[in-house]
């Protein structure tokens, strides 16, 4: 469910009123319109009272198990929803769901920014800092932020409204956190950004339409994030960096990625949205992943590997697109011979 | 013509005085030295009174059409200037033109920085903010900046002198804009930099000599720029991001790039100088372009594509260097077979 | 030797007390425990009184020449230390050396951050600014920093404790320098970070253990660093950017790199730790290097080159992994033919 700590919720609201406000009055079936909507959620995370959607068959397993009370779905998927889930029929489920989201969570980019910008210099009166927190000059700490003892907020860092940081953590100069929950002993190097809006747009004839980014960034205990690295928050679920994982400088982690525990990701990496990485994965510099894929635990990716499909645990990968490192070495050698031969002929 | 909103102009100045001050007294032909120079410009953008230069035959079409009154040119190109354009002969046109630029626009990196740094905390008295602008704590807004109603300037953001931002735009925490004109509903995510000095140097025996970066960055209506992304201003022309175009995190857009309307450029992309991209182009993560090339409208670049030459509209590209995606897939498959075969033999 | 300007030194301390405090009382041989330890150092840079370590045979030449008084070494290397160097035997030299470092230099990430954060807004009373320095609003200048005349510190920039900057340099908006010595006429574009903690961890069963990053970043005269670029400080030695070298936006330079003079490194480059680059090297956009390698002077790397081994001076490189550009072109052509042939068959 969307965390109202970060995203203002306009409900609960009756389903019939919600769809009406969103301009989709015809979407509600004959029965069920009086039920209250308590929030929007990813199908897997949804609880009774939540509304979700399905627009791609890869989410059919999630649909089968969802506890969501309401699901926006196209005709082809409608029959596959669990009994007890009310299906709202739609010819364009994602776009219609976005319409509903904008009613439920009315703080778009500009409104959220405006609210954050209206705070005072220094520490907001509603922020809760344990004893022993050190806040450097120029740092700005937003409303209802929570910071644990021993944590240091560096010069000119910006901690957004509602952000929670555990104990004995370090936020570097000029870094900033939005929509982020960070654990104990987390280190954010200077200039890093966490919990920023992900890159998600629906193509419309009139141009791209932003998909509200209503998730969070979760940095578990002992995580370190390098200088000028960017970690986007999730769209509906969270972006999660697992306990003890270390990320180097200038890395991009897109929305909805789930990085395991005790991974190391070297500089210039870029993980596209919804990449899932198991525990203890090591990634050399400049590794990339396409989205919606899984790299199994204890895998090693040599520098420059670009992963474009799932790989099992213990994989040893290299190349573009990624393949087993031994196969990659053979290909490099074969190509070298081919190039030399063409020189002679 | 160089925009004096951002770049202090020391003229108008008589041509003979200009070349003399630049240490090139011998450059002026017998006739015409008394004419005033009103500015420097790219050959295509030049108006009467402006001075331009040509150092590469790729600009010959521009030379043929230029309205510049004065052109610094090597002997081989001198005869190709339009009638009415006074040619200043040079054995090293770009370097000599830079000498002239430094007289016409004397604010080098240090002087411009000094002027910007001397402003007050908060909002400069000469900045013009429409009603309803929200400026967060720690933000610094320079002299003569203009900001439209509904726009939010985030905590610790820095808006340089003369920068103009339209209405209902959002500038994220710690972002900064220099030499930038941004339209309505523009979103700059935290830590992004726009209008910064491009990377342009002339090789000299004593080391690299900086080419003054006298253009602007133009972000049209509805543009979004990701966290920690960098958009350099143009050298003499502008760097332009077209209406509705969305750029993800950690992207580099070099000087003089012209991105069309409603494009989407995913994270970790890097476009070298003078890349031209048509409307509605989609670029997956980690795409790169060499400079001085054009990618036609409605093209799709798969993740990791590195473009090194022109491609027509509707191209479907992948690989390094970029080629048609089908050809790329065949090559990957052929290389895989080659690698497997070499294992068996 | 570790520069105590940046890293608080808890010694001098008797060797026997040091190893005892580090939990390695058994490490000291029968004789020599009373000698004072004056600092830790890389074997090549060590002076009498310093302690170093060796964990990899690539450092055997350094061991043979070291002037360190004490060396933590495994049994296999112990006999190779110079006479007069006291060997501290260890089954895990790097980890044990880190234990010693944490006693000698007790300021871990959090403690160093806390000390830097406790300074006042604006300019610390102990900072030494020559006349004619301009400090913009929101800039924070730490204890004992030194800044030369004519230098400009931009809005919201952060200059850490002890950082020294020469004359007529420019630090852009929101940039920050830690553990950095910068020369005259250095330009740091907005958002760049120098001297930040490098990415160095020892793998432990319980997760990654940070290796203290006790070096500096040295930016020689005339260096320029692009927007949002990151330059990590060294681990024990320094990261050095040579005189006149220009680095573009969004570049990562890892710890212990040594870049020569008058190089140009275009955007999106990433150099892994301990890369050594000769003078006058040119690197196109998006070049990468694996660590612990040397690229000879006057080499040219075409855009996208990924270097994975040493190359001599005057190399012309392209491809992944890097090879001679002519060979690379033949390979690309051969692969293209192969792909076309497979289409026909």
Whether the predicted pLDDT of C202 surpasses 70: yes
Instruction: Specify whether domain C13-104 bears CATH 3.40.1390.10.
Output: yes
Cβ atoms within 10 Å, residue C191: 33
User: Are B246 and A199 inside 8 Å of each other by CB?
Assistant: yes
Measured CA distances, C130 to B110, B300, C134, C146, C152 (Å): 16, 54, 10, 8, 11
**Residue A207: predicted pLDDT:** 84
Query: pLDDT tens-digit profile of C305-329?
Result: 999 999 999 999 999 999 999 999 9
HEC string for chain C: CCCCCCCCCCCCEEHHHHHHHCCCHHHCCCCCCCCEECEECCCCCCCCCEEEEECCHHHHHHHHHCCCCEEEECHHHHCCCCCCCEEEECCCHHHHHHHHHHHHCCCCHHHHHHHHHCCCCCECCCCEECCCCEECCCCEECCCCEECCCCEECCCCEECCCCEECCCCEECCCCEECCEEECCCCEECCCCEEEECCCCEEEECCEEEECCCCCCEEECCCCEECCCCEEECCCCCCEEECCCCEECCCCEECCCCEECCCCEECCCCEECCCEEECCCCEECCCCEECCCEEECCCCEECCCCEECCCECCCCEEECCCCEEHHHHHHHHHHHHHHHHHHHHC
Cα–Cα distance measured from residue A46 to residue C194, given in angstroms and rounded to the nearest whole number:
44
Q: Which two tokens stand for residue A99?
A: 């319409």
Whether the predicted pLDDT of C1 surpasses 90: no
Which of A147, A249, A306 best tests the C interface by mutation, with the highest count of C CBs <10 A? A249
Distance from CA of A127 to the nearest CA of C (A): 19
Which of A166, A188, A267, A337 best tests the C interface by mutation, with the highest count of C CBs <10 A? A267
Ranges under pLDDT 70 in chain A: 344-345
Of A276, A250, A258, nearest to A215 by C-alpha is A258
Cα–Cα distance measured from residue A155 to residue C143, given in angstroms and rounded to the nearest whole number:
13
Q: What angle do CA B210, B216, B219 make, to 5 degrees?
A: 140
Q: Which two tokens stand for residue C315?
A: 């190399």
Q: Which backbone phi and psi does B330 adopt, to 5 degrees? A: -65, -40
Enumerate the residues of chain C whose CB falls inside 8 A of the CB of residue B140: 136-138, 155-156, 173
User: Are C228 and B193 inside 8 Å of each other by CB?
Assistant: yes
Of B193, B308, B321, the CB nearest to C191: B193
Query: pLDDT tens-digit profile of C223-245?
Result: 999 999 999 999 999 999 999 99
Half-sphere exposure (CA, 13 Å, Cβ side) for C35? Answer: 20
Count of helices and strands (H, E) across chain A:
6, 37
Is residue C255 among the annotated active site residues?
A: yes
Question: Is residue A31 classed exposed, middle or buried when 0-12, 13-18 and 19+ CB atoms within 10 A define those classes?
Answer: exposed
Please, which pLDDT band fits residue C191 given cuts at 50, 70 and 90? very high
**Residue C200: predicted pLDDT:** 97
Widest pairwise Cα distance in chain B: 79
Q: Which two tokens stand for residue B147?
A: 């900001």
In which order are the strands placed within the sheet that holds A187-188?
Answer: A134-135, A152-153, A170-171, A187-188, A224-225, A246-247, A264-265, A282-283, A300-301, A316-318, A323-324
Distance from CA of C204 to the nearest CA of A (A): 10
Distance from CA of C284 to the nearest CA of B (A): 9
Residues 6+ apart with CB under 8 A from B53: B43, B71, B72, B73, B90, B93, B94, B96, B97
Question: Is residue C69 classed exposed, middle or buried when 0-12, 13-18 and 19+ CB atoms within 10 A define those classes?
Answer: buried
Strands, E, within B212-338: which ranges? 217-219, 224-225, 230-232, 239-241, 246-247, 252-253, 258-259, 264-265, 270-271, 275-277, 282-283, 288-289, 293-295, 300-301, 306-307, 316-318, 323-324
Cα–Cα distance measured from residue B123 to residue B140, given in angstroms and rounded to the nearest whole number:
6
User: With contact defined as beta carbons under 8 Å apart, do C137 and B159 qualify?
Assistant: no
Query: pLDDT tens-digit profile of A71-85?
Result: 999 989 988 999 989
Enumerate the residues of chain B whose CB falls inside 8 A of the CB of residue A191: 174, 191, 228
Measured CA distances, C132 to B113, C151, C167, C188 (Å): 13, 7, 10, 18
Enumerate the residues of chain C whose CB falls inside 8 A of the CB of residue A137: 119-122, 140
User: With contact defined as beta carbons under 8 Å apart, do A200 and A235 qualify?
Assistant: yes
Cα–Cα distance measured from residue B293 to residue A296, given in angstroms and rounded to the nearest whole number:
40
- Parse chain B into domains and list their residue ranges: 13-104, 178-327
The SS3 of residue B210 is: strand
- Characterize the bridge pairing of strands B86-89 and B70-73: parallel
Which of A230, A321, A342 best tests the B interface by mutation, with the highest count of B CBs <10 A? A230
Measured CA distances, A287 to A100, B114, C317 (Å): 37, 40, 21
Of B174, B246, B303, the CB nearest to A176: B174
Contacting partners of chain A (3+ CB pairs under 8 A)? B, C
- DSSP state at residue A234: P
Of C122, C208, C228, the CB nearest to A228: C228
Phi-psi region of A112 (alpha: psi -120 to 50; beta: other; left: phi over 0): alpha
Residues 6+ apart with CB under 8 A from B21: B13, B103
Burial pattern B247-273, b for ≥16 Cβ within 10 A else e, equals: bbbbbbbbbbbbbbbbbbbbbbbbbbb
Enumerate the residues of chain B whose CB falls inside 8 A of the CB of residue C156: 138, 140, 156, 158, 174
User: With contact defined as beta carbons under 8 Å apart, do A38 and A49 qualify?
Assistant: yes
Query: pLDDT tens-digit profile of C96-134?
Result: 999 999 999 999 999 999 999 999 999 999 999 999 999
Whose tokens are 């025996």? That residue is B205
Long-range interactions of A157-160: CB distance < 8 A, separation 24+ = A158/B138, A158/B154, A158/B155, A158/B156, A158/B173, A158/B174, A158/B190, A159/A127, A160/A116, A160/A195, A160/B173
**Residue B340: predicted pLDDT:** 86
CATH topology match: C13-104 vs C178-327: no
Whose tokens are 């004593």? That residue is B206
State pTM to two decimals: 0.97
Return the number of CB contacts < 8 Å for A and B: 171
Q: Which two tokens stand for residue C40?
A: 């830790």
User: Are B117 and C136 inside 8 Å of each other by CB?
Assistant: yes
ipTM of the complex: 0.96
**Residue A344: predicted pLDDT:** 66
Of B255, B94, B68, B88, nearest to B179 by C-alpha is B255
Ranges under pLDDT 50 in chain B: none
Cα–Cα distance measured from residue B156 to residue C284, given in angstroms and rounded to the nearest whole number:
33
Measured CA distances, B214 to A332, B105, B241 (Å): 45, 8, 17
Question: Is residue A167 classed exposed, middle or buried when 0-12, 13-18 and 19+ CB atoms within 10 A define those classes?
Answer: middle
Query: pLDDT tens-digit profile of A140-158?
Result: 999 999 999 999 999 999 9
Enumerate the residues of chain A whose CB falls inside 8 A of the CB of residue B267: 199, 230, 252, 254, 270, 272
- DSSP state at residue A56: S
Q: Which two tokens stand for residue A172?
A: 């570097």
Can you identify the CATH homologous superfamily of domain C178-327? Hexapeptide repeat proteins (2.160.10.10)
Enumerate the residues of chain C whose CB falls inside 8 A of the CB of residue B335: 335, 338
Of A170, A174, A249, the CB nearest to C113: A170
The SS3 of residue B297 is: coil
Whether the predicted pLDDT of C345 surpasses 70: no
User: With contact defined as beta carbons under 8 Å apart, do A305 and A283 qualify?
Assistant: yes
User: With contact defined as beta carbons under 8 Å apart, do C110 and C29 qualify?
Assistant: no
Length of chain A as a residue count: 345
In which order are the strands placed within the sheet that holds B176-177?
Answer: B140-141, B158-159, B176-177, B193-196, B230-232, B252-253, B270-271, B288-289, B306-307
Residues 6+ apart with CB under 8 A from A112: A7
Cα–Cα distance measured from residue A213 to residue C223, given in angstroms and rounded to the nearest whole number:
40
**Residue A13: predicted pLDDT:** 97
């Amino acid at each position: 469910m969307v965390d109202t700590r970060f995203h203002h919720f306009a409900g609960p609201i009756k389903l019939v009123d919600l769809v009406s406000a969103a301009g989709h009055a015809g979407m509600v079936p004959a029965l069920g319109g009086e039920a209250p909507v308590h929030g929007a959620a990813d199908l897997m995370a949804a609880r009774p009272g939540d509304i979700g959607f399905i627009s791609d068959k890869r989410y059919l397993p999630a649909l089968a198990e969802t506890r969501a009370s309401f699901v926006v779905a196209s005709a082809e998927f409608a029959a596959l929803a669990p009994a007890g889930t009310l299906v709202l029929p739609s010819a364009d489920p994602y776009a219609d769901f976005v319409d509903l989201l904008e009613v439920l969570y009315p703080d778009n980019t500009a409104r959220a920014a405006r609210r954050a910008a209206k705070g005072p210099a220094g520490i907001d009166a509603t922020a809760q800092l344990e004893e022993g927190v050190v806040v450097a000059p120029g740092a700005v700490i937003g409303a209802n932020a929570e910071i644990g003892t021993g944590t240091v907020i560096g010069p000119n860092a910006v901690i957004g409204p509602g952000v929670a940081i555990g104990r004995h953590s370090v936020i570097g100069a000029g870094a900033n956190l939005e929509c982020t929950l960070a654990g104990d002993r987390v280190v954010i190097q200077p200039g890093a950004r966490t919990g920023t809006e992900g890159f998600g747009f629906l193509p419309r004839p009139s141009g791209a339409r932003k998909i509200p980014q209503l998730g969070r960034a979760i940095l578990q205990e002992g995580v370190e994030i390098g200088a000028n690295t960017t970690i986007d928050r999730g769209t509906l679920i969270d972006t999660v960096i697992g306990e003890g994982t270390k990320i180097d400088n200038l890395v991009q982690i897109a929305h909805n990625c789930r990085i395991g525990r005790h991974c190391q990701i070297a500089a210039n990496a870029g993980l596209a949205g919804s990449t899932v990485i198991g525990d203890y994965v090591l990634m050399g510099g400049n590794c990339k992943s396409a989205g919606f894929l899984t790299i199994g635990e204890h895998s090693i990716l040599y520098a420059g590997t670009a992963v474009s499909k799932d790989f099992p645990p213990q994989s040893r990968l290299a190349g573009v697109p990624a393949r087993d490192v031994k196969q990659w070495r053979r290909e490099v050698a074969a190509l070298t011979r081919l190039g030399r031969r063409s020189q002679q002929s």
